[in-house]
Structure 1
């Protein structure tokens, strides 16, 4: 996929990404289920189980496919795919369908369903719908978004420890996305809980070695995602001190492992294809963190250059094989919009 050297999201690229998502958010198979069956009655087709988010291979990928479509619709008034996106939302985002999604979450066996990754993305989608011209879609989603926000409020006080892996269970990524929702609906209680949790989990971290990065299944950088979470939730002065302690040799491009884009040997393998997502999510973090620094701070240039290298490594591979195609564009938009 051709991109400008500045790696910015333009109308041409947005249209390509929108077409990718429109091609799979209603594609029922292949499908990977992610919940516990309580009885034989729970064995149903994806479309019957998830009346809205049944496509895109799995529930969470479908959710962030919808997020990306909403984001592109908000971002580009002249997006050629806009009528199809609106028609999709009219068809799928209905009160009855969302009520059935809520019912799935309310099953006793679903207590941990999509926690925390899918929870974070659902709230990210809700935040984007809040600023759409068609505000009724946010209203329609609200029973589910409130339920998921309530899940965070119940779960976070019980979570004694963070999860620092580079996959779906990473807690920093989820609460980072949830913070956008809390801000969008002006839920200060939720934002305060997310901030207090981040400080409790990560506030004392020092001199991060990033020694486990990358592993063969990563699509998130444990180190950079934690830093981006803290950037989003801390006051700027508090973040500046924490960041200097967390990555004290960043200006020297240390730890070195963070600055080398991951090599992807087989994009038809779903796990190995995660590494394209690692490159894109690192780029998102690098660019977001750079914004928190003064332009004359040497770390600013280091972070921007690292972002560009990671984008160049994986933007050309957003489409091509379904193992990446069903989700990578969302991460590309995160990075390009940072």
Structure 2
């Protein structure tokens, strides 16, 4: 066993502890009434409320702990979700694509963890709205923050797998293929470091290309490998959104490490994730700046690590 593999095993033994701590935060915040939305009214905004509920489901799926089930069920009541679906149908650009992608993540997690079909029809409408956005369109792979297409397409890809929708898988692969040439014009490291983004733009483009089958992992690593291996964790966040960037880099690097077998990427993923976990004020501190959303990013990174080690 390599040193990195041993380190990963140690991380996995600690991961349920971290997942429990992370879940405590959205468990409080999803119940707040920060907005007038019928179901997703906590966590300051709609998308953060969505991924807050997702995080509770993810925690249940990873640990078997059902303590948050009553909270989840109270928010995912059919009457509330029908009202949310009607609202999104009436406002086709609302939360497009970012929040809608998170809703797909929530729906696929609910299906995976509970076996419920309560979100099926709402999720189909959301998936249709996203596929119509990305089908046969020119897409900017470096669109930033909430407009980032790679995050939306990755969620569509995972949703398609859970729902056995090869038609959606094909749409994602085609959209990703149209972005493959962007590997020739990656933003400079200095440029990307200067952005206030919470999403890891270059790593997630690489993840999408590889996982969708739009590009071979070797070709992606030839173009972007040096950039990816040079990434260093943020140790002094300069902007509010930087408090989650280590987590989003970490989860993308985990996917790429799995696909490529590159221990350097695995070590970097752990460096990024642990940097944030060991600074709890970065994810359970100020409500407006961090605690309404950053723990959910941490949960996604933890989930990816645990599922890569022992898929469920």
Greater C-alpha radius of gyration = 1
Higher relative helix content? 2
Against the structure 1 CA distance between its residues 16 and 99, is the aligned structure 2 distance closer, same or farther, given a 3 Å change threshold? same
Pick aligned residue for 1:286 from 246, 249, 253: 253
Residues 293-320 of structure 1, C-alpha deviation per residue, up to 9 Å, x if partnerless? 23xxxxx232122223222332222211
Counterpart for residue 276 of structure 2: 314
Against the structure 1 CA distance between its residues 262 and 206, is the aligned structure 2 distance closer, same or farther, given a 3 Å change threshold? farther
Counterpart for residue 290 of structure 2: 324
What is the deviation of 1:130? Answer: 1.2
Check conservation: 2:141, 2:179, Cα contact below 8 A. no
What is the deviation of 1:91? Answer: 1.7
Counterpart for residue 31 of structure 2: 26
Pick aligned residue for 1:132 from 106, 113, 120: 113
Q: Structure 2-normalised TM-score? A: 0.86
- Unpaired runs of 5+ residues, structure 1, are 30-45, 266-271, 295-299
SS in 2 for 1:28: coil
Counterpart for residue 11 of structure 2: 7
Q: Structure 1-normalised TM-score? A: 0.79
Counterpart for residue 59 of structure 1: 46
1-structure distance, mates of 2:204, 2:235: 16
SS in 2 for 1:7: helix
Pick aligned residue for 1:240 from 200, 217, 221: 217
Check conservation: 1:102, 1:143, Cα contact below 8 A. no
Pick aligned residue for 2:142 from 164, 167, 174: 164
Check conservation: 1:264, 1:275, Cα contact below 8 A. yes
Counterpart for residue 152 of structure 1: 130
What is the deviation of 1:203? Answer: 4.6
Counterpart for residue 199 of structure 2: 220
The reply on whether 1:230 has 2:209 as its aligned counterpart is yes
2-structure distance, mates of 1:262, 1:239: 32
The reply on whether 1:104 has 2:87 as its aligned counterpart is yes
2-structure distance, mates of 1:216, 1:224: 14
- Unpaired runs of 5+ residues, structure 2, are 1-7, 305-312
